[in-house]
Structures are given as C-alpha cells and as structure tokens.
Structure 1
Amino acid sequence: MPSLAQRTAVWSLVVSLLWRSITRAYYRNSVGGLLLFDITNRRSFQNVHEWLEEAKAHVQPYQIVFVLVGHKCDLDTQRQVTRHEAEKLAIAYGMRYIETSARDAINVEKAFTDLTRDIYELVRKGEINIQEGWEGVKSGFVPNVVHSSEEVIKSDRRCLC
C-alpha cells in the first residue's frame, strides 16, 4: 500500500440485545468491520453469521469489507473453536481470518492494517466508490495523527475486554 494517510473511525458495537437498536445506526456509513469471536467460546463463533447478516442488511446499498477475528489466542489451552473451523468460515464468507490477543498484543494492529489495506485496494480498483452523501469513504486532507499498538507497553498486561 503506498504512503497514503488514512483516517479510521473505530466503533465497538456491543453484542447485547439491549444495544442493538443503537448499533444499527453505526453500520450505515461503515465500509469495513472486524467480526470478532472468542476462540474460548463456541457460542460467540456460532453467532458470527447473525452479526454478519445484520451488518450487511444495514449498510446496503454499499459494500462492506470484513476480517474475521478470533480473539484471545493467548488462551489456546481453553480453545473451543479450531483455527481450521474459523479459516473455513472466513473462506466461505470471502474474508480474511486472523487470531489476536489484546492481552499479549498479538496481531491487533495487523487486523486493522489488513482491513484498511483491503478497503484501500477495493477503492483503488473502483469496486468501492467514493460517493457524495456517503460517509463511508471520503477523499481529502487527513491530519497527521498516528496511534500504534507499539505504544502499548507489553509488561502492562491489563485487558479490559
């Protein structure tokens, strides 16, 4: 990907049914998403299809790019979803798969980088169009602000997620 500045707004959409009516509003102008499930919780993996369909329904008529993320890979001994199962699901949906650990700072930044790279490539190829009135992708000036997982101190292993 060339040296282009990108501004990314990240929204964490809560899985709770209590928040569903609010989260739907955030899908509307989204162009990309990380579909997360907990590798130690089979039910969260089984819910991926439902969340994918909901997001697609609320972003129409626009295209949305997803990366499937199996998080808590630091808890491999408690794994309930195999990497093979997750990769198979990602292939079926035409998306990337990556495993992450917020606690150990494994692949978190890579998940976002892969997603933004995929979005950039689709815009470059003309498969995602920059359109007036849609907030999903815009061109223009982007301030020089960089936030990186490299700023996270690995020895401080507190995770609030």
Structure 2
Amino acid sequence: SDPTVGVDFFARLIEVRNGTRIKLQLWDTAGQERFRSITKSYYRNSVGALLVYDICNKESFDHIPDWMTEAKRYIEPHNPVFALVGCKLDLVRAGAAREVTEEEAKAFAQRHGIFHIETSAKTGLNVEQAFKAVTQEVFDRIQSGQYKIEDGWDGIKTGFSRPNHLDGNLVEAESAKSSCC
C-alpha cells in the first residue's frame, strides 16, 4: 500500500474469541516528524495503538519509544493497549537486509509487556493477527473492568450491534463516506 501522508481513516469489524464483533475506528497517522503536530489530536478517545516500524530501517525502530511515550501522554488517563508491529517482512524474505532483528523487537515488547508481530502489508501476512491481538486485549480489559464506559468519553461505546445477516464489509464502506471540512 502507499505510505500515509497526514492521516488516513478506516473502520473495521473484528471478531474476538467469544464471537463478539468489535467495530474499530482506525487512524493511520504518518510517522513523519512534519505531521507530528496534527497526529496528536487523533490520540483522543483512543484505547490502543499499533507501534509500527520497518524491519529494514533501524531508525524507525529507534523512534518507537518516542511514539509510545507520546501515545501514553495523550491517551491518559486510560492505559492504552499497544502492539509492536514490524512491517515489510516480504522485503526480508525477498533478500533485503534486515536492520532490526526479531529478537531485538521481541525483547523490547517483553520489557514493555506488549504484543509483538512481524507483518507484510504487501502480502497481508499477519496483518489481521496484529489487529485481532489489540482488539482482544481491549475487549479483555473491558470484561475485567479495567476499561469502563464513562460519560463524556467516546473511546469505548457499547450497545450498538448490527443484525447478523448484514455483511461486515458494510463497515469498510463507511470510510468512503467520511469527509472532512
């Protein structure tokens, strides 16, 4: 897929282990420094974040602690769910030089108590699993009472469900209707 310039929005349905379907609103913020000032507003009402780095680019991995700190600062008071996602696995499998070892990334994830996975957006490898892992953890925190539905906070909403006969792809189509300004 093309790199993000600014911010892209997507909506997606993910089914967790007990069969509950969760609607995600995904904000893909650009990792470039020049967009950092506009991405801060997208943390509001968030409960999770995929911290994505390029496994062929050590510098992108070195910035992960900064992105994690920033996300925590703007998502508070809620403790966000993070997943560390290495991308461009297809390039490594095609012979490109890996600059971030899987062991290094796993060690970082373990130190911070977060999920780690390597993916390929080009082939789709493990992309769904990355979203499912974060969604399942958010759902588990709701079930355990760690995340509460609060007045005035739109991070988690409950009670709305689509009839089972509707296709989940309808949610995908909603992003095309979104507009700004």
TM-score (norm 2): 0.78
Greater strand share, structure number: 2
Aligned length: 147
- Is 2:162 the partner of 1:146? no
- Is 2:45 the partner of 1:29? yes
Offset at residue 132 of structure 1 (A) = 1.2
Q: Distance in 2 between matches of 1:31 and 1:119?
A: 7
| Runs (5+) with no aligned partner, structure 1 | 148-161
Given candidates 13, 18, 21, the residue that maps to 1:5 is: 21
| Runs (5+) with no aligned partner, structure 2 | 1-16, 170-181
Q: Distance in 2 between matches of 1:29 and 1:71?
A: 26
Offset at residue 146 of structure 1 (A) = 2.1
Given candidates 31, 47, 53, the residue that maps to 2:69 is: 53
Q: Distance in 2 between matches of 1:23 and 1:72?
A: 23
How big is the alpha-carbon RMSD for the aligned residues of Structure 1 and Structure 2? 1.2
Which stretch of the first structure deviates more once superposed, 10-19 or 116-125? 10-19
Q: Alpha carbons of 1:28 and 1:142: their partners in 2 closer, same or farther (altered >3 Å)?
A: same
Q: Percent identity?
A: 39
Judge conservation of contact 1:72–1:102 (CA < 8 Å) in 2.
Answer: yes
Offset at residue 75 of structure 1 (A) = 1.8
- Is 2:138 the partner of 1:122? no
Q: Give the letter for the 2:119 counterpart.
A: T
Where does residue 95 of structure 1 map in the other structure?
Answer: 114
Where does residue 153 of structure 2 map in the other structure?
Answer: 134
Deviations 1:53-107 (A, max 9, x none): 0000011111110100000111223210000000000011110000000111100
Q: Give the letter for the 1:114 counterpart.
A: A
